Amino acid sequence: MEIVKTLLFIYAAVLLLNALYSGFLFFLKRDRLYLYLLFLWLSTFLNATLQGFFQNSPTEMVLSFSTYFISSIVLANILGLVSRQTLPNRNYCVLMASALGGGLIAYLLDGGFTLMALPTAIGVSFPMFHSAFLTLRSRATSSDRVLLRVFSTLLILNAIHFMDYPFLRMDTRYSVFGFSIALTILLSFSIFLPSFLIKDISDRYADQLTQLNTKLVDYQKQLAELMSLAQVGEMSFSFVHDMASPTMLLMHYTNEMKLLHKEGVGDGTKLIPYSKGIEEATARLVGLQKLFRALMKKEDAHGQVEIDLNEVINKTIDLYHPFLEFHQIKVTVQLSEPSFKVVTLQGVIERILLNLIQNAVTALGDLENKKIYISLIENIETFSLVVRDTGPGIPIERRANLWERFGHSETAKALSKVGASPRTGGSGFGLYKVKNLVDQIQGQISVETSNQGTSFTIQVPKKPKFSAVPAKSG
């Protein structure tokens, strides 16, 4: 019996080491399988300890042996969790309770150790037998099949080993052999279970990563759709903003012509500037319409074109001239001589200039000294297009966020809710759009402002590096 006690203590020591290792893994990973493994080793350690201390009577030995049911059901549930099967744990417990009752009846009938221990051995072994056979009958994936079969085989061997308990435990010749088998199975579990669980956990993490990757792809598609919608929305707002200037001019010219009609226009010479302005504004609206259609079709909306900068500036100012004259705004233009041609994107210089002139007109408001200065200066690699007004300047709180969409200072945010911005009295979109257009032609924009006025300088590159699209002569 001393040899049996020694084997039991060795058995218990190995279990305690496994429990410490499993507890450490659970502390690091917080995975349920490591928690099951911790329960397994602790319950088996408890069983070995009880069997080592309670050997004075057959009743004590059977009751201490019955505590291995906890380890048995934990092992079964580890296999069930890994093989994705739901086990009837309540039925296992009912069976074990019935087995203990049967053992008690055998004890009361003085049936001997074998009859008293046999029902308990069945109750202890059944969860391992049942879960193992369920797993062997299931259709596991090819990567898991081998590991599951090895684990199921170990459970069946362990269950068979516990079934020999009623027959061999009381014979010291076989008890040493039985405990040697138990120790061998324990060592097998100690080696196999950690790698088995790590494989299962890594597979689960891989599945989770696959699911997350699938969701990420879906989110990226949704984001792309939202970005596309946002681009359409911004594009629409941009064109509505750009259409405001020619629409406003059309309304102005129409009203002036109505007044002239009421007063009598004589030979009609007074109508010429207004009819020309209406023609130019209408052409501008048609151009914007074509540009919008091209962008919606994702075509090359802004084709490359060779333009005469002086001519483009003069035409844009002529378009605004009656309106500026009506509001008593004096415009001074100083252009480079001789005139220079440059390859740029079609319509972009006009849009930049229209936005800056409209910005200046709004800034001047009801001031007495209302002046706008427009100049074109040649540099080594660029032309400097300067638009300066004599307005009150840009408020300090907006200067840091001048190029942002709608402005992002608290003042701009508050004013944008009611359709106004600190400088322009509009949506705050104009300067953001100007910056965007300047970037499209690979230029640069800078601003100087004070209470004496504001000056915007656009650096138009002489030789921009656009994609290879044939330039049109404009």
CB 294 within 8 A of CB 302: no
The mean pLDDT value of the chain amounts to 75
Q: Indicate if the pLDDT at residue 173 is higher than 50.
A: yes
Task: Kindly report, residue by residue over 87-126, the tens digit of the pLDDT.
Answer: 999 999 999 999 999 888 888 888 888 888 899 999 999 9
Tell me which range, 4-8, 372-376, 407-411, 436-440, is most confidently predicted by mean pLDDT: 372-376
pLDDT of residue 430: 72
Q: What is the reported pLDDT for 221?
A: 66
The mean pLDDT of 148-176, rounded to a whole number, is: 78
Q: How sure is the predictor about 420, in pLDDT bands with cuts at 50, 70 and 90?
A: very low
Look at residues 317, 344, 303, 377 and name the one whose alpha carbon lies nearest to residue 443: 344
- Dump pLDDT digits (tens) for 70-98: 888 888 888 887 777 889 999 999 999 99
Is it the case that residue 397 has pLDDT exceeding 50?
yes
What mean pLDDT comes out for the span 183-194?
65
Distance, CA of 362 to CA of 354 (rounded, Å): 12
Q: What is the pLDDT of residue 425?
A: 47
**pLDDT tens for each residue of 446-463:** 999 998 899 999 999 988
b or e along 303-325 (b: 16 or more beta carbons within 10 Å of the residue's beta carbon)?
bbbebebbebbbebbebbbbbbe
188 — phi, psi (to 5°)? -65, -45
For residues 158 and 409, the model is more confident at: 158
C-alpha distances in Å from residue 423, one per residue of 391, 393, 436: 10, 8, 19
Q: Is the pLDDT of residue 411 over 80?
A: no
Residue with the larger pLDDT of the pair 342 and 229: 342
Q: How would you write the chain as a 3-class SS string?
A: CHHHHHHHHHHHHHHHHHHHHHHHHHHHHCCHHHHHHHHHHHHHHHHHHHHHHCCCCHHHHHHHHHCHHHHHHHHHHHHHHHCCCCCCHHHHHHHHHHHHHHHHHHHHCCCCHHHHHHHHHHHHHHHHHHHHHHHHHCCCCHHHHHHHHHHHHHHHHHHHHHHCHHHHCCCHHHHHHHHHHHHHHHHHHHHHHHHHHHHHHHHHHHHHHHHHHHHHHHHHHHHHHHHHHHHHHHHHHHHHHHHHHHHHHHHHHHHHHHHHHHHCCCCCCCHHHHHHHHHHHHHHHHHHHHHHHHHHCCCCCCCEEEEEHHHHHHHHHHHHHHHHHHCCCEEEEECCCCCCEEEEECCHHHHHHHHHHHHHHHHHCCCCCCEEEEEEEECCCEEEEEEEECCCCCCHHHHCCCCCCCCCCHHHHHHHCCCCCCCCCCCCCHHHHHHHHHHHCCCEEEEEEECCEEEEEEEEECCCCCCCCCCEEC
Q: How confident is the model at residue 426 (pLDDT cuts 50, 70, 90)?
A: very low
pLDDT of 57 strictly over 50: yes
How confident is the model at residue 375, as a pLDDT?
93
For the segment 368-390, the average pLDDT, to the nearest whole number, is 91
Could you tell me the end-to-end alpha-carbon distance of the chain, in angstroms, rounded to an integer? 110
Query: What is the mean predicted confidence (pLDDT) over 398-427?
Result: 53
pLDDT-derived band at 30, boundaries 50, 70, 90: confident
295: confidence class by pLDDT, cuts 50, 70, 90: very low
- Tell me the whole-structure pTM to 2 decimals: 0.42
Predicted local distance difference test score (pLDDT) of residue 419: 40
